[in-house]
Amino acid sequence: MPWRVEPRVVSDRRHHRLERHPTPGTQNALRHWRDAKGALRVACNYACIVLARHSPSLRLKVLLYRLLGMTVGDGVSVALEATPDVFFPELVTLEDDAIVGYDATLLCHEFLQDEYRTGEVVIGERAMIGAGAVVLPGVTVGHDAQVGANSLVTEDVPPGATVVGVPAEPIEHGDDGGTTDGESAA
């Protein structure tokens, strides 16, 4: 494409790992999706992802995801209805024993007005993504970290941390309404 411009890296939190891909004209970037990825490739990705989303077989899911170019470690569990990025599944890494919960979404792209951005999503070893959570492009969830259900992960999650909410924020033990250090719930 003659209008293609070399991607450039954005700085600022997760954004420093995103590549920017400017699009021509005044129409929003989603109108140019075929320039980001070919229609046949997106259709094949979509078909594999739909099959994986509805399959109860973890082995089949892992096989399909690897065929799409995702990096999938040993012992990974991906629940029903979970959706990796349809345009750029090759930018998703699920490390050993990671869990991706029911209806969670791992996005590696964002279409904006004048550009689209791409970035890797890494779910660390033994990390857990809760049901309905959304992880944005360029985010790394560290090993043994946990993302609460229905959370929106806009920044990296440190190893061992638990984050919840929109946007996802770290919680300390006891912040969830439970008790700590043997205190009563009086």
- Taken in order of first residue, the domains within the chain and their CATH numbers are 8-170 (2.160.10.10)
Mean local confidence (pLDDT), 43-65: 96
User: What is the pTM for the complete model shown?
Assistant: 0.84
Residue 36 has pLDDT above 90, yes or no: no
Residue-level pLDDT at 174? 59
pLDDT band at 15 (very low <50, low <70, confident <90, very high): confident
Mean pLDDT of the chain: 87
Mean local confidence (pLDDT), 113-119: 91
Return the beta strands (E) in the chain as ranges: 8-9, 19-22, 71-72, 77-78, 83-84, 92-94, 99-100, 105-106, 109-111, 115-118, 121-123, 128-129, 134-135, 140-141, 146-147, 152-153, 162-164, 169-170
At CB < 8 A and 24+ separation, what contacts does 105-109 make? 105/133, 105/134, 105/135, 106/82, 106/135, 107/134, 107/135, 107/136, 107/137, 108/137, 109/36, 109/85, 109/137
